C-alpha cells in the first residue's frame, strides 16, 4: 500500500517557521513527512466518531467529530499524541505542526456534497444510509460548528502564537 505525497511536505515540515494544520489527508501527509506511517485502517470511519483528547486539548472533552477515511496515520517519533479514537491516533503535534484525522470544518452542506455522486456509492459500500447521515449531521451542526471554531482558536493560540 503506497501513497505518493510529493516533495513539498518535507520542505514544509523541515521548518518550524510555518505552522500547519493538516486535516484528514493533510494529517496523514504530515505524519508521513515526519516519519510516521499511513496505513489502511481496520475498518473505514465514515460518520460521527468519538475522539478522546489528552491533557493539551482537554477542553474538547468527549465529543464526536466527523470522519470520512479508509486510512489512518501513526504518530511520528518525537510528536505528541493529542487525541485517539477506536482506530488509533486522531491528532498529534510536533512543534508548530498539528495533524488531525477528523474533519473540524464539516457542515451539512459539505456532507451533502461529499455524499452525492461517487460518495453515495461509497456510503452504500460501507453500509451507511445517506439520508440518515445527513440528518445526523444537521442535528449535530450547531455544536460541531462551535467545536470546530474552538479548535481553530486553540490552534492559533497554542500553536501559531507559540
Q: Is 103 among the catalytic positions?
A: yes
Residue among 13, 32, 45, 103 flagged as catalytic: 103
Q: Is 13 among the catalytic positions?
A: no
List of long-range contacts for 13-22, beta carbons under 8 Å, 24+ apart: 13/97, 16/95, 16/96, 17/96, 18/96, 19/96, 19/97, 19/98, 19/155, 19/159, 19/160, 20/96, 20/97, 20/98, 21/98, 21/100, 21/152, 21/155, 21/159, 22/97, 22/98, 22/99, 22/100
Q: Is 56 among the catalytic positions?
A: no
Residue among 39, 56, 81, 105 flagged as catalytic: 105
Residue among 24, 32, 45, 69 flagged as catalytic: 24
Catalytic residues: 24, 103, 105
Amino acid at each position: 500500500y503506497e501513497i505518493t505525497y510529493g516533495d513539498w511536505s518535507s520542505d514544509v515540515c523541515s521548518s518550524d517557521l510555518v505552522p500547519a494544520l493538516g486535516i484528514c489527508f493533510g494529517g496523514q501527509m504530515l505524519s508521513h513527512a515526519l516519519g510516521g506511517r499511513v496505513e489502511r485502517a481496520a475498518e473505514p470511519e465514515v460518520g460521527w466518531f468519538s475522539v478522546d483528547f489528552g491533557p493539551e486539548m482537554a477542553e474538547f472533552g468527549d465529543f464526536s467529530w466527523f470522519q470520512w477515511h479508509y486510512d489512518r496515520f501513526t504518530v511520528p517519533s518525537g510528536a505528541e499524541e493529542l487525541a485517539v479514537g477506536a482506530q488509533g491516533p486522531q491528532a498529534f503535534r510536533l512543534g508548530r505542526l498539528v495533524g488531525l484525522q477528523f474533519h473540524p470544518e464539516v457542515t451539512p452542506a459539505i456532507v451533502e456534497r461529499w455524499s452525492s455522486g461517487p460518495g453515495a456509492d461509497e456510503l452504500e459500500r460501507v453500509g451507511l444510509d445517506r439520508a440518515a447521515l445527513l440528518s445526523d449531521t444537521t442535528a449535530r451542526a450547531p455544536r460541531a460548528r462551535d467545536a470546530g471554531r474552538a479548535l481553530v482558536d486553540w490552534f492559533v493560540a497554542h500553536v501559531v502564537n507559540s
